[in-house]
Structure 1
Amino acid sequence: MEAAREIIKPTAPASLAKIAEKVHAGVRLEEDEAVQVFQSRDLLTLGQLANVVRERLHGNRTYYNRNFHLNLTNVCEASCRFCAFARLEEGMPQAKTYSVEEAVEFVKQQLPNQPTEVHMVNGLHPGLPFEYYLDVLRAVKQTAPSLVIKGFTAVEIHYYAGKYGMTYEQVLTALRDAGLESMPGGGAEIFAARVRKKICKDKADADQWLEIHRIAHRMGMKTNCTMLYGTVERPEERADHVLRLRALQDETGGFQCFIPLAFHNDNSPLRKLNEPTGFDNLLIYAQSRLVLDNVPHLKGYWVMVGEKVAQISQSFGVNDLDGTVVSEKIYKMAGSTSPNALSTADLRRLITDAGRLPVERDTTYNVVGMPL
């Protein structure tokens, strides 16, 4: 019988040798090492190391789900400079606010695809009563009781608390009682105050975002977390952002997935900035996987980076490609040219052609059926 071949670990450059040693040993990177990782542009070395972590956590599995997006309103009084989705008031071109009945009808139209999740993220509409959101949640759950509602960013929770005179916990409790089961990670952007002052000065700050997720976790709700990259942030500010997420995860254990979000410049006030390249996207995935060691899943959001980069990302730390994503609007209005939806067959092909095993999941990563 042929002797087993010895697996030889790639030799890392001297500048990353200590980091590589710790990664292979499963030892956490310190803060200064996290900064070093985010300052490095050595994509292949970081990618190889990130794949070690990815396969240690998930083996050859890549997850996807059957989901669709429902943005109840894009009317928003915030002035985020990276955003092409928001409209300041009703009546403006492309402004849209669903009635409860329209929202229910939209959900009904998606049910033949057998979705397990609706992703519900909205603008900060100054004219809607809080009861509107509760009515929508109740109506959706009545229409599709098994459909998990993942919705309302921490920015929205902060806005509702201030607008309607409630605490964060009161807002979350009311939404949960009406049908909300999980929260997305949007609105985190970059935690650095310097950057937030330039790109999103009039919405929830970093401490408020983190506190809302802390409360949601304490209430037993699983949430996601994100980082917007490619505007005016520096590598060390990216590292700080991920480290602050890591610290909260140490405390609560409530984050289940991290999604790096690439800036798209079309139709936004920051349109003169260059967008992240494919190299940048893969680098962020690898860097994040190495530093954010306690959030189990890393998502390559195909709507944002395109199908080809999302597929390649499975070798750079990513173990989730999101889902069917019917009717995504936020990135579409910022110039994304990716399809409006992918079928489950499309997603499985992206996964299997990269040599990975496709696994359909639900919102909290329970396996739906058996892996193919």
Structure 2
Amino acid sequence: MEKSAPAKNKQESVVPIANQDAAAQLQKIRSALLALRDAVILLNEDDGLEWWNQAAQSLLSLQPEDKGQSIFNFITVPAFRQYYEDTTLPNDGIHIESWRDPSRYLKCELTPFGDEKLLFIYDVTRLQHLEQMRQDFVANVSHELRTPLTVMTGYLENFTDQPDMPPHWRRGFELMTQQTARMNRIVNDLLLLSKIEIEETHEFNHIDMTKLLTNIYDDAQAYNQAYKHTIHLQIDTYDGLYGSEMYLNSALSNLVINAIKYTPKGGNITISWTRTSDGCRFAVEDDGLGIAPEHIARLTERFYRIDKGRSRATGGTGLGLAIVKHVLHQHEAHLQIDSIEGTGSTFSVVFPDAYVRSAVAN
């Protein structure tokens, strides 16, 4: 009995040491958060301020007596409140202009933390300026390339039409004409992409989707002459959309033309428009080559190609799906890609109810 007493005392002495270690770790974490250059704010379940670091104190001019105050008393930008309250938005943050200095840009990210929330605010002014420089550069260079390409195209067409041109020269001029046309397509897509990115507001109108999809189907049939696919159009609802008809026509046509180009001759392609519980769904389904899983996440990147040789052979610019992504973002929709190699692919888009124009209401 007497020998067991020291063991008991030893066990009791471990508890305070463990508590001290935990307290030391918490202090280190707290010190690290305080030292961060980015603002960190802990919000309670009522959206009130619980704790903040030095960067947040400087950014929002917080005082100790502000504890418990609503975050909306300090960040008054309407877009922030919408992001904060809309739980359907993806948790990838929101970019806003500083409410105190319009030349500064901030990114806010909200992360659930039990019943509380952690708000991170990053200064992304430099990144925003670099992105603007990139957009301006692409737009300006693309615009400047149009004139020389137009001149080259004109002269190449004139030379190619000469009846006495030697055959070995003719082949060279035909190749130059093809590549100049390809450059023109790339420049036009770059200009369209730049226009979509730069425009802060877009003219939205009510769109008759039955009419729009019928036009896309007719254009697809004309493009399909060399491929001999069987193309079906299934319209299960007469509901339309509220959006930019020009941009939507470009985006949805891109998806249909891609299905035609990357499906072996004699394949089947189905274009559909249906009502869902969340809105309306546009889809293009084919029984083509399919896409390996490792490529799907990167398909909307500019100039990303699964097979460079195949893309050049089909005359693609590598910008089509990037354009699709940006147009859909304007309409709060996203591209869903389901594909199995050797079986086919389905590219689908669900437009939320906020953008659906009910046929019944009309």
Identify whether the pair has TM-score above 0.5, normalized to the shorter chain: no
Superposition TM-score, scaled by structure 1 size: 0.23
Higher relative contact order (CA 8 A, sep 6+): 1
Structure having the higher helix fraction is 2
Q: TM-score, normalised by structure 2?
A: 0.23
